[in-house]
Structure 1
Amino acid sequence: MSRTVEVLPDKTALVARAEDLIGDRITQTLSQRDYCTIALAGGSTPKPLYEALARRDLPWEKIHIFWGDERYVPPTHPDSNENMARTAWLNHVPIPPANIHAMPTQGEDPQADADRHEAQLREFFQTAPGTVPRFDIILLGMGDDGHTASLFPHTAALGVGDRLITVGNKDGQPRLTFTVPLLNHARLILFLVAGASKQTALNAVFAPEGDAQQYPSRLIQPEGEARWLLDQAAAAGVAIA
């Protein structure tokens, strides 16, 4: 794994850096093949990034959008990651509807919908069971507790190694989430972490030794590249090797 950590002065600078990195990676990817795959994160930090990307002139017909996790709510719900990304970004650009691959969350069986989305991923990437698709870009955030995607501390989802999609759990509420093997097969993982409340978790995640069950972001060690973008508030007092 190649890990790069950049500290930006504030959240505005972090968003600008992320926008540039994503734009450059899309261009690089499309110079090598005719499509680029991006999995999005939820939460408050990526929203201004999505608003910025909505203003860019990109080859939208060659970009395919996925989500790394999703709350088990309808896509019109205010807590939906899909809803946030559509409102901030996707509704404002000429991306073909077929290029938006949302997680199914309108059924009554999260596990069945996890299975359904896994089948959708395998069909898109043309991967057989036992092999793992490779996303070009996966955006991730990190909670104060060290969780990422919907991989929460001491939950069963952390140990799922034979699936692409599983059911995460937050305070008894189900969510669909990429599994650790799917995340770690990415060409680029881009972590966006802002705010002083993240310092304790960052120290634990960056430490040479630690408990990944307590701080699940430690599990994200991609075969490709991991880039962490931190604002100064998050990075203050953090030992960055």
Structure 2
Amino acid sequence: MNFIEYPDADIMMMDLANVLAEDLTDALHSKDRVTFAVPGGTTPGPVFDALSAVDLPWDRVNVMLTDERWVPEDHERSNTALVKARLITNRALGARFLPFYAPAEQPEEVLADVEAALLGAMPVDVVVLGMGADMHTASLFPDSDGLENALAADAPVLVPVRKPDLPDVRITLSARVLDSALRKHVLIKGDDKKAALEKAHGLSRREAPIKAVLDGADVHWAKE
């Protein structure tokens, strides 16, 4: 793990956008198409805004989420809507988005088809991850139903995750897929996240799922 500290969050977001543009450019030199996995939530929004303005051959870039709620795109809690609004716009409008959601009451009804559509885009070339104060990343939550499967060495590409305090079923890329990305970046802000990251080193992957993806990752941190 390479820990990178920034003087403030604005500088971190701009620097990370530049690094991601370089990573994608490097990957595009050796492959016809590359796959870029990104988190939802509002924290990476400024990174997406800056990156969407970069002049890349976006028509050769697959974009997918690291995890998604099992809700339609027009739902208020959809990560897909946010990514399309802030990343797949401007110069990045030509990128191909690969969804995790398909119309069904439960993901298990259609997950095999959703996963099959992703197999041609594997492995992930560049991934950006967040981390919660509980040391979860993507939707790999401690004490969640599905975590053991998601952490397994032979895990599938996608895993449904359920937890009593989560309002929606989550679909997440497994730790195997996330950790195998060629370039890994973790984006965090605040003293609480820094403390959680330090705590994770002394815990198991089940207690601190972020630990499953830290080997070889660049962790970008700003106090606020």
SS in 2 for 1:93: helix
What is the match of residue 39 of structure 2?
Answer: 41
What is the match of residue 229 of structure 1?
Answer: 220
> Which amino acid in 2 is paired with 1:103?
F
The percent identity for this pair of structures is 27
Among 6, 17, 20, the alignment partner of 1:19 is 17
Distance 1:115 1:196 in 2: 40
Contact 2:5 2:221 (C-alpha < 8 Å) held by counterparts: yes
Among 89, 107, 111, the alignment partner of 1:110 is 107
Alignment of 1:60-209 (within 5 A): 60-93=58-91, 95-96=93-94, 99-122=96-119, 124-125=120-121, 133-160=122-149, 161=152, 162-170=155-163, 171-172=165-166, 173-205=168-200, 207=201, 209=202
Contact 2:62 2:98 (C-alpha < 8 Å) held by counterparts: yes
Report the aligned-residue RMSD: 1.8
- Going from structure 1 to structure 2, the CA distance change for 1:46 and 1:26 (only over 3 Å counts) comes to same
Among 207, 211, 214, the alignment partner of 1:218 is 211
Distance 1:113 1:40 in 2: 22
Distance 1:183 1:35 in 2: 18
Contact 1:168 1:175 (C-alpha < 8 Å) held by counterparts: yes
Per-residue CA distance 1:98-138 (angstroms, 9 max, x = gap): x211112432112233322221112x24xxxxxxx321011
Q: What runs of 5+ residues in structure 2 fail to find an aligned partner?
A: none
Contact 2:18 2:51 (C-alpha < 8 Å) held by counterparts: no
Aligned length: 218
Contact 2:33 2:62 (C-alpha < 8 Å) held by counterparts: yes
TM-score when normalising by structure 1: 0.84
> Which amino acid in 2 is paired with 1:157?
G
> Which amino acid in 1 is paired with 2:180?
H
What is the match of residue 55 of structure 1?
Answer: 53
TM-score when normalising by structure 2: 0.90
> Which amino acid in 2 is paired with 1:156?
D
Distance 2:82 2:63 in 1: 13
Q: What runs of 5+ residues in structure 1 fail to find an aligned partner?
A: 126-132, 234-241
- Going from structure 1 to structure 2, the CA distance change for 1:141 and 1:26 (only over 3 Å counts) comes to same
Distance 2:145 2:223 in 1: 33
> Which amino acid in 2 is paired with 1:135?
V
Distance 2:94 2:54 in 1: 16
Among 12, 16, 29, the alignment partner of 2:27 is 29
Contact 1:111 1:166 (C-alpha < 8 Å) held by counterparts: no
Per-residue CA distance 1:72-101 (angstroms, 9 max, x = gap): 11111221111001111213335347x211
